[in-house]
Amino acid sequence: MSTRRMIGGEIILKALADQDVDVVFGYPGGVTLPLYEKIGQQNRTEHILVAHEQGGVHAAEGYARSTGKVGVVLATSGPGATNTVTGLVDALMDSIPVVCLTGQVTSHLIGNDAFQEADTTGITRPATKHNYLVKSTDDLARVIHEAFHVATAGRPGPVLVDIPKDVILGEGAYVGPDDVEIKQTYKPQIRGDRKAIEEAVELLASAKKPIIYAGGGVINSGPRASRLLTELVDMTGYPCTLTLMGLGAYPASRAQFLGMPGMHGSLEANMAMYHCDVMVNIGARFDDRVTGNTAEFSPKSRKVHVDIDPSSINKNIAVDVPIIGDCASVLRDMLKVWKENKLKTDKAALKKWWARIDRWRAKDSYGFDQGPDIIKPQFALSRLNELTRGMDIHVTTDVGQHQMWAAQHLHFEEPNRWMTSGGLGTMGYGVPAAMGVQKGNPDSKVVCVTSEGSLLMNIQEMATIANYRLPVKILNLNNKVLGMIRQWQELFHGNLESECDLSGSPDFVKLAEAFGFEALTASRPDEVDDAIIAMLESEGPCFLNMGVDRFESVYPMIPAGAAHYDIVLGPNDQRAEVDDDDLAMASLA
């Protein structure tokens, strides 16, 4: 084992280089100054000076989700560290590998309420997958390498390393990643149990009304998992639905794709989830936004659940065949078992099942009416989808109505192309995430779909984007309102608009120009295509302010805690016309 003595700051940079880190998103401060001195003396790892540490974490998340690498953040002690908390929880909820290094006050001052001291490991303990306080420079390299391991192994997540100033300044031994004995306590199980896989495959083959329901675990498992999922879906001819986190894991353009399930999912996906007799969940987590009322969730199905995290299984929904393992590994084994046993699907039953699904699909539950005057946000997004077809494109979103419409109307053919804050639902995610995506994918068209409420939450990162000439495109679907709040107030809270109006927002065009963006506008349906094309073709950072219908609501909608058959379709609030037959069959079968 070769060791070299180095200064703490150098150890940090060497460890990052050995972890193949090309970029860190950071912001300096008193206790990290000695590290910045070293950063300024090297050019192996690029440092992006963000405008706010929360933006730094979201940028690291965007970078990680689009590249499959670890996103790295650097913040100072106290306020720098506390500013990262929302980003860390966001990464925790969506299982994104992020390593966040924070400075801490000098060791002997810890606990003294020193200037810019915060109990960072205490505050972030429930906000991270794991965190560390480094006590000595000799431990520094090992802890950083371990942090990268923990962030990526098994179900990924954020890991924070808190480093006191004296540890940065002190001298210690450097050990490389290969010389670090990774703690063997955190050992995720990759291979699924063979017996359970056989049982799952048999169940799958015996299905008369199957559905494959896949989620972000497939994306996290790497592109191979998406290929294997596609193979399984195509081989069986079964319908497939993908969660908000899983979009892109199966090509959206194929007929077997039913769209997204859940609160704002398609009628066909939700009805198929409700009526199916076999449900195979691969890397999704039966989130409450998907299940609605758990007591009424898919009551007649036998369920398989594949997840690398044992704590995801039987958390919300008890399943018949649990399989703990990595999605790619389990999918490969499932395909192998299917082929070895020469299994066949029940073609006749499947034909009937598809006929039913096609009847639900015929209702065109994502449909909308674009009139001549006001731009419908769905129209803008479906045009964006058309006009970017075949392009090398990545999309980030913020949180609200625009996010749900983007999930409905943008079609992803590949994984790692769609970045949205699913678990935490963090307004302010979109702009900094887009910055990170662009950093990791310099040649891609990176589009952030947002709306003015979310935009204002991390708008400061437009300065960073402009400063680094990152050609990010921001599409602001400006409805002058916290649209999702307005929608819930209309539907569930007495139809009273309370504190959601944003008509007093700033002039976003001027603001974008002040940040150094090219700024465009569109306010009529016939301007939409030209504006989107101009945005996509602009060389540098570009902002398109698109005035859209303030009163549009997202449909379909399953009210929170309701059952799937309570799905509400279309602007007239009618209940979905689910055949009475279907319901009767479901409750009798």
Ligand X SMILES: Cc1ncc(C[n+]2csc(CCOP(=O)(O)OP(=O)(O)O)c2C)c(N)n1
Residue 177 contact, options ligand X, Mg ion, other proteins, none, Cβ 5-8 Å cut-off depending on partner type: none
Give the CA dihedral 220, 223, 224, 230, nearest 10 degrees: 100
Contact 422, 93 (CB under 8 A): yes
Q: How far apart are the C-alpha atoms of 116 and 135, rounded to whole Å?
A: 18
Give the separation between CA 563 and CA 294, rounded to whole angstroms: 8
Q: Contact region for Mg ion (CB under 5 A) — 21-29, 182-190, 449-457, 532-540?
A: 449-457
Helix/strand/coil for 436: helix
Residue 545 interacts with ligand X (CB under 6 A): yes or no: no
Confirm or reject binding of residue 129 to other proteins (CB under 8 A): yes
Residue 430, interface with Mg ion (CB under 5 A)? no
Nearer to ligand X by C-beta: 402 or 417?
Answer: 402
Using the structure block, give the residue that is written with the tokens 């769609």. 418
Nearer to other proteins by C-beta: 159 or 544? Answer: 159
What three-state secondary structure class fits 289? helix
Residue 554 CB, shortest distance to ligand X, in Å, is 8
Tally Cβ neighbours within 10 Å of residue 539: 8
Among residues 45, 82, 220, 426, the one that binds ligand X under rule CB under 6 A: 426
Answer for which of 164, 217, 453, 556 binds ligand X (CB under 6 A) is 453
By CB under 8 A, is residue 121 in contact with other proteins?
A: yes
State which of residues 215, 246, 322, 541 lies at the interface with other proteins (CB under 8 A).
Answer: 322
Tell me if residue 511 falls in helix, strand or coil. helix
Residue among 422 and 436 whose Cβ is closer to ligand X: 422
Cis peptide before 556 (omega within 30 of 0): yes
Asked if 427 is part of the footprint of ligand X (rule: CB under 6 A), the reply reads yes
Q: Which stretch binds ligand X (CB under 6 A): 70-78, 136-144, 480-488, 538-546?
A: 480-488
Residues 6+ apart with CB under 8 A from 58: 87, 90, 426, 428, 429, 432, 433, 436, 458
517 burial level (CB within 10 Å; 0-12, 13-18, 19+): buried
Residues in contact with ligand X, shown as a per-residue x/- string from 357 to 396 under the rule CB under 6 A: ----------------------------------------
Give percent helix, percent strand, percent coil of the chain, each to the nearest 5.
40, 15, 40
Distances in Å between the alpha carbon of 283 and those of 49, 154, 217, 531, 587? 35, 12, 4, 38, 28
Task: In angstroms, give the least distance from the CB of 472 to other proteins.
Answer: 35
400 binds ligand X (CB under 6 A): yes
> What is the per-residue binding string for ligand X in 432-451, x denoting contact by CB under 6 A?
-------------------x
Q: Are 460 and 407 a contacting pair, CB within 8 Å?
A: no
- Indicate which of other proteins, ligand X, Mg ion, none lies near residue 121 (CB less than 5 to 8 Å, by partner kind): other proteins
- Distance between CA 289 and CA 279 in Å, rounded? 17
Q: What region, left, alpha or beta, does residue 374 occupy, with left being phi > 0 and alpha being psi -120 to 50 degrees?
A: beta
Residue 187 engages other proteins in binding (rule: CB under 8 A): yes
Q: Are 486 and 500 in contact (CB under 8 A)?
A: yes
CB closer to other proteins, 333 vs 549 = 333
Q: Is 483 in the site for Mg ion (CB under 5 A)?
A: yes
- In the block, tokens 């389990």 appear at 330
* Closest residue to ligand X in the complex (CB): 400
* CA-to-CA separations, 525 to 375, 387, 411, 519, in angstroms, rounded: 5, 15, 21, 18
For 371, other C-beta atoms within 10 Å of its C-beta total 10
Given a contact cutoff of 8 angstroms between Cβ atoms, the answer to whether 568 and 574 are in contact is: yes
Span from 27-35, 46-54, 188-196, 491-499 in contact with other proteins (CB under 8 A)? 188-196
Judged by CB under 8 A, the chain residues 191 through 230 that form the site for other proteins are 193, 196
**Residue 93 lies near other proteins (rule: CB under 8 A):** no
Q: Which of 102, 230, 426, 451 binds Mg ion (CB under 5 A)?
A: 451
In the chain, the largest separation of any two C-alpha atoms, in whole Å, equals 75
Is residue 303 within the footprint of other proteins (CB under 8 A)?
yes
> What are the C-alpha distances in Å from 240 to residues 250, 282, 504?
8, 11, 43
427 contact, one of ligand X, Mg ion, other proteins, none, CB 5-8 Å limit per kind: ligand X
Region binding other proteins by CB under 8 A among candidate stretches 10-18, 39-47, 309-317, 327-335: 309-317
The 3-class secondary structure across 44-73, one letter per residue, is CCEEEECCCHHHHHHHHHHHHHHHCCCEEE
Active centre residues (catalytic): 53, 115-116, 165, 484
Which stretch, 85-93, 314-322, 372-380, 411-419, contacts other proteins (CB under 8 A)?
314-322
Are 520 and 470 a contacting pair, CB within 8 Å?
no
Amino acid at 309: D
Query: Nearer to other proteins by C-beta: 303 or 383?
Result: 303
474 sits near other proteins (criterion: CB under 8 A): no
Given Mg ion, ligand X, other proteins, none, residue 303, with its beta carbon under 5 to 8 Å by kind, binds other proteins
Angle between helices 327-340 and 223-236 (to 10 degrees): 30
Binding residues with ligand X: total (CB under 6 A): 19
- Select from 28-36, 320-328, 478-486, 509-517 the region that touches other proteins (CB under 8 A): 320-328
Q: What is the DSSP letter of 108?
A: G
Binding status of residue 294 toward other proteins by CB under 8 A:
no
The one of Mg ion, ligand X, other proteins, none whose footprint includes residue 309, by CB under 5 to 8 A per kind, is other proteins
Binding interface with ligand X (CB under 6 A):
398-402, 425-428, 451-454, 479, 481-485
Binding interface with Mg ion (CB under 5 A):
451, 453, 479, 483
Binding interface with other proteins (CB under 8 A):
121-122, 125-126, 129-130, 133, 150, 183, 185-187, 189, 193, 196, 303, 309-311, 313-315, 318-322, 324
